[in-house]
Amino acid sequence: MQDGDRLTKTDTDLVDIGGGVGLRFPAQPYYPEVTRISQLITTVHDRQQLRFQGDLQLGREAVTAVFSLPGGPPLLTINWTAGGIDVHKTTAVPVGLDGRRVLADIVLSFWPASIIETHLIGGRVADEIGRRTIKCDGDPVIVIDHKGDAARTETRLLNLAQGYYLTIVSKPAAMK
């Protein structure tokens, strides 16, 4: 994928999240409230660690997620509406980084289980207090732990099938 490529709804509504499980994105986001979140994200994959910041604007009809290195210009921008999913990334973003997978991790981590459950293919959601597990045939594929409060939340996502984990520190931000 090159900088500015558009991913259309017809060829991107299903993303493989690993372990025989897929997430089919809803026709539009359906996030339950309009909110803006500022994030600091640390990811580890293949023994490489990367830290970046995210600015998410979530709502029922639209989601915009902008990711950059701390203090730097945008590297990856995702816009999701009923018209489809647009992913724009600069040449500084690794070719193998799929914006749809980034969006899937956001949805799996922060959307209500009832919305996720109806859009999982080959898997199911198990929610406990502070923990969400995406399972296939009873085996965990992704484990997501949440702790914190309204002022600051730490989320840890471990994708057992794809071999990476994320630590996401989120804080509410003022709407733009």
Can you spell out the DSSP letters for 63-94?
EEEEEESTTS-EEEEEEEETTEEEEEE-TTS-
Beta bridge partner(s), residue 131: 128, 145
Average pLDDT over residues 72-80: 95
**Is pLDDT above 70 for 175?**
yes
* pLDDT for position 65: 97
Mean pLDDT of 7-31: 82
Highest mean predicted confidence (pLDDT) among 18-22, 47-51, 97-101: 18-22
State which H helix or E strand residue 12 sits in. Answer: helix 9-12
* Residue ranges of domains in the chain, CATH in brackets: 9-172 (2.50.20)
d(CA 48, CA 44): 5
Residue 2 reports pLDDT greater than 50: no
Structure confidence at residue 12 (pLDDT): 56
Residue 139, strand partner residues: 136
Q: Is residue 32 over pLDDT 50?
A: yes
pLDDT in tens, 114-166: 999 999 999 999 999 999 999 999 999 999 999 999 899 999 999 999 999 99
